[in-house]
Structure 1
Amino acid sequence: MNASAYDFTATGQPRLQGKRALITGAGSGIGSAIAELFAREGADLVLLDLTAAPAKAVGERLMETTGRRVMAVGADVSSSTQVDAAFAEALDAFGGLDILINCAGVNVFGDPLQTSEQDWRRCLDTNLTGAWHCIRAALPSMLAASYGHIVNIASVHGHKIIPGAFPYPVAKHGLIGLTRSLGIEYAARGIRVNSISPGLIMTPAAERYFQSCPDPEAERRHQAELLPCKRIGRPEEVAYAALFLAGDEARFINATDVLIDGGRSQIYHD
């Protein structure tokens, strides 16, 4: 489909009608919110998580509520062998992919000199190399169709440095660099690559952090007060940005990153 062939007027159809999307990290948090929204907007889905069980639970619920075709696969994105096998299964079942959402990630925060080689590799292998494994597996079928939208879920840590968060920002800076590099590399061949950088979003990981604090509610209020909008973001707010970037309405947006942090990163200090 070339740009001139797309009708940008309202059609009354779901925005992803007929599209096939693979979403990593789909078993919870932002990934499952994206899966739910994409299914409501007409996409058939491949949901990938570290193990298939969480993705399967999300998929069964979405098939029941939306009637879309959904399959769940388990794979560790840090393993190219597992990723290649999962994508081969998905491509065989769906005949191709139109959209890839790289949402799988892991929080690794610490002191640089106390960061073990194992933690360094776990952070980079999942948050950066894992995204590359998935893109590399998706690209051949997208290039064959001269059509594909890729959205990487980066982080505000890819823009601003928070002390004590090493090496997570290293991986997320790299993911934004990967987004820009590949977006330019394949732009003339019908592939767009963009990223989203969420700030503090109320995911299960954020909830676990709050529950680890001596006074969870006080910490929750403190974090909300740091944000210009005075509230913490929600997974579905990231999902709507992913929906826009993954759809044909955003066909002239490429190799860029969208911050979703309530304006927090624009403050010099407080």
Structure 2
Amino acid sequence: MSDRLHNKTAVITGAGSGIGRAVAQLFAQQGASLALLDIKIDNIEVLAAHLERQFGHRCIAAVADVTQQEQVEHAVAQVTAALGKIDILINCAGVNVFHDPLTLKQNEWQRCMDVNLHGPYNLIRSVLPGMLTRQYGNVVNIASVHGHKIIPGTFPYPVAKHGLIGMTRSLGIEYASQGILVNSISPGLIMTPAAEKWLASCPDPDAERARQAALLPCNRIGNPDEVAYTALFLASDEARFINATDIVIDGGRSQVYHN
């Protein structure tokens, strides 16, 4: 075990499953004190206790709906009181919303934007004052290849992810001279619980899994740990000259011209 995040404190949203959970496990292993945020305490309470026992660093669970600014501010205050500072924010909380544009209901549009775009902004806005006071902070937003390439039938999800990448770049430049780094990661198809659920809903799950893997130059689907390791690099001081940048993790698929 190394200590790439020694003496660092990280807040991770959506920490209860998928990429967020993988990030939490890796960051704890690498020496960080953690605050795990999720919309349900059941998703994170046991994980927080397990990581603290296993790695010996403080790990707390905090409930917050990222779309609600008051809840976010309360959670950040709770984290600051318990852990003393926030060095790193990893915005993993997200939701898939795929609809035909003409039948999309207003509440589904709003839900997509609230969780995937406004949610990260709520967290950033809440942790920034403390980061600016110390002139140090590292934000990593989990975006998507949908923020780069359009897949038919996925509206309005790409709209939110394009916005998240734009916000990443804008805030990275806005605060670069004050010691704040803001970057994003754009995963392709990653075998998260949401992806497993989608595959299970297909008429022939095994055939669809094989079809998706065949679309990738590496002939396999990604896993959450591979995204977590990229988040670790960006959140560490090893990446201190990387800012306002998005890193695509999709096995090379977005670089291939498909007939």
Question: Which amino acid in structure 2 is aligned with residue 182 of structure 1?
Answer: L
Report deviation, 1:13. 5.2
Partner of 2:252: 263
Q: Counterparts of 1:106 and 1:78 in 2: how far apart (Å)?
A: 12
Partner of 1:217: 206
Q: Counterparts of 1:174 and 1:45 in 2: how far apart (Å)?
A: 27
Which stretch of the first structure deviates more once superposed, 149-158 or 213-222? 213-222
Which of 119, 136, 142 is 1:147 aligned to?
Answer: 136
Which of 71, 88, 101 is 1:112 aligned to?
Answer: 101
Work out whether 1:130 is the aligned partner of 2:103.
no
| 1:180-191 alignment, distance < 5 Å | 180-191=169-180
Report deviation, 1:94. 1.1
The gaps in structure 2 that reach 5 residues or longer are: none
Partner of 1:55: 44
Question: Which amino acid in structure 2 is aligned with residue 70 of structure 1?
Answer: C
For residues 6-54 of structure 1, give each alpha carbon's deviation from its aligned partner in whole angstroms, at most 9, with x where no partner exists: xxxxxx9510011000000000000000000000000000000011221
Secondary structure, aligned partner of 2:5: coil
For residues 32-87 of structure 1, give each alpha carbon's deviation from its aligned partner in whole angstroms, at most 9, with x where no partner exists: 00000000000000000011221112212211221221000111101111111111
Q: Counterparts of 1:100 and 1:197 in 2: how far apart (Å)?
A: 16
> Which 4+ residue blocks in structure 1 deviate beyond 4 angstroms?
none
Q: Counterparts of 1:226 and 1:29 in 2: how far apart (Å)?
A: 22
Secondary structure, aligned partner of 2:182: strand
Partner of 1:9: none
Secondary structure, aligned partner of 1:259: strand
Partner of 2:83: 94
Provide the identity percentage.
64
The gaps in structure 1 that reach 5 residues or longer are: 1-11
Question: Which amino acid in structure 2 is aligned with residue 198 of structure 1?
Answer: P
Count of residues paired in the alignment: 259
Work out whether 1:202 is the aligned partner of 2:185.
no
Partner of 1:158: 147
Report deviation, 1:269. 1.2
Report deviation, 1:95. 1.3
Q: Counterparts of 1:41 and 1:27 in 2: how far apart (Å)?
A: 19
Q: Counterparts of 1:95 and 1:65 in 2: how far apart (Å)?
A: 22
Which stretch of the first structure deviates more once superposed, 88-97 or 41-50? 88-97
Q: Counterparts of 1:245 and 1:13 in 2: how far apart (Å)?
A: 16
Question: Which amino acid in structure 2 is aligned with residue 145 of structure 1?
Answer: R
Report deviation, 1:160. 0.2
Work out whether 1:232 is the aligned partner of 2:212.
no
Q: Counterparts of 1:13 and 1:177 in 2: how far apart (Å)?
A: 33
In the superposition, the TM-score normalised over structure 2's length comes to 0.99
Q: Counterparts of 2:2 and 2:135 in 1: how far apart (Å)?
A: 23
Question: Which amino acid in structure 2 is aligned with residue 186 of structure 1?
Answer: Y
Q: Counterparts of 2:211 and 2:53 in 1: how far apart (Å)?
A: 39
For residues 187-228 of structure 1, give each alpha carbon's deviation from its aligned partner in whole angstroms, at most 9, with x where no partner exists: 000000000000000000000001101111111111000111
Which of 15, 23, 32 is 1:34 aligned to?
Answer: 23
